[in-house]
Chain A
């Protein structure tokens, strides 16, 4: 491999273990059991540890778009959140250039506020200056296409359909130049027209010398946007390479 490629994300035998509050098991919610936990200092019975990512190692380079595939619960989203620095790694380490940004469909802004106020707020939260926000605001709203059916930008976000909300969130996050952009299932929500536009934007972001990670169950959007694929299965990498090769293996595995 050429040495002049610049790495942006390095994962070195990363393990992620997180705690989940599962619904309480029988008896663990009683006052007596809670009191016992308080006194003995033991962790609550309804908190379980999930070892979601087990020793993942890879290097991502500038200008790459990497698709993360795998069956449900294979640790894709967890890995993204660890790369973004939102979940701590239990063992090993993850290094990244700049501050990776995670863009997920759940990235809730303020639902009571109109779309345009959310655009301003989201841009400021990404560290833009007020002047930059002013310059980019109209572009973001236009890109999201929420105004195609009338003036939705001035209506509260709770009145939006789920697709419209996801489109606006994607547009806000994509307005900024990221060193590393992590996209979790976000492209799947929009309609076909928006998907084409957002895939185009992902390509632009790559061209502007960033690295894009994409988690998706849509084979088509992975094939269209990513040149490299990492296949995760129960927290471990099963394959890592060119999209076509990995997809072929993955499809063969899924048909079994």
Chain B
């Protein structure tokens, strides 16, 4: 009795042969990268719907709702301004320190929030992953989409702050668009890589706040970038390392776009080249790294 299935299939051909002839595939096979990208594209509506669903459900329980998208970055900037601009006084030789500081805080916040929610993109949706089949990259991508939308709102607030502090609108403001694009690609790569990393090693989540804080203090968010270049102790490879920090580059470029006469760490051209390289490397690298683990998500 237990062997019935074997007996009926064994009348002639092996099970493997039977499966092959009928076009059955082994479950849990990894699709090729172009195939995966195509699958992901056909799930674009799901990614969009998931992103807006998450946005609704996270703000749904608050009274002010979507107003928080504007209030959170303002409060954030206010706290840092009081501590670093007024109390400690790191402004030194920057004329318009409030605008300078706000740009740093907002741009860094964009990457920070994407990393924090990217880490949870897989581990926070295990129920869905175990029940339904869809390309798993949809989840970190929807996280990235939420944060990109949030940042566009924050960018509007940021521009208002910059205007209020007395900066003029110039043609250079248009550079914000390619910059937003580059940083979004960079951040999406981080979200994808973080999602896989966080699903394999949950301990990472505990370390993220410290890593991000260290990164922020090293990215000239709260003090002028000239503190590095004018410091005698920092030179040679150390200065190169500090100046190739992608967050420093993105923040510098945003300041260059929105403000007049800001001291920069390098020439604008070298900064743009650096930003492009970082975006391509991290964006593609994150995507490939995530795809390699596609079949392992939600297991165990």
Chain A contacts to B: CB under 8 angstroms: 1, 6-10, 12, 18-20, 57-59, 81-89, 93-97, 99-104, 106-110, 112-113, 117, 120-122, 124-127, 129-130, 156, 169, 173, 236-241, 249
Contacts and interface: CB of A to CB of B under 8 A. Distances in A.
Given A18-B300, A86-B298, A125 B132 contact: yes
A19 B19 contact: no
A127 B43 contact: yes
A113 B15 CA distance: 45
Contact of B26 (A18, A94, A101): A94
Contacts of B56: 112-113, 117
Interface stretch (B3-11, B192-200, B221-229): B3-11
Given A7-B18, A107-B130, A113-B57, A88 B9 contact: no
B28 A130 contact: no
Contacts of B207: none
Contacts of B134: 125-127
The main secondary structure of chain B at its interface with chain A is helix
B2 interface: yes
Interface stretch (B46-54, B83-91, B104-112): B46-54
A241 B1 CA distance: 8
B133 A101 contact: yes
B164 interface: no
B205 to A, nearest CB: 16
A207 B101 CA distance: 66
Contact of A126 (B9, B11, B132): B132
Given A57-B15, A241-B4, A112 B128 contact: no
B105 to A, nearest CB: 29
A165 B23 CA distance: 36
Contact of A125 (B6, B24, B46): B46
Q: Which of A84, A109, A127 has the most CB atoms of chain B within a 10 A radius of its CB?
A: A127
Nearest to B14: A12
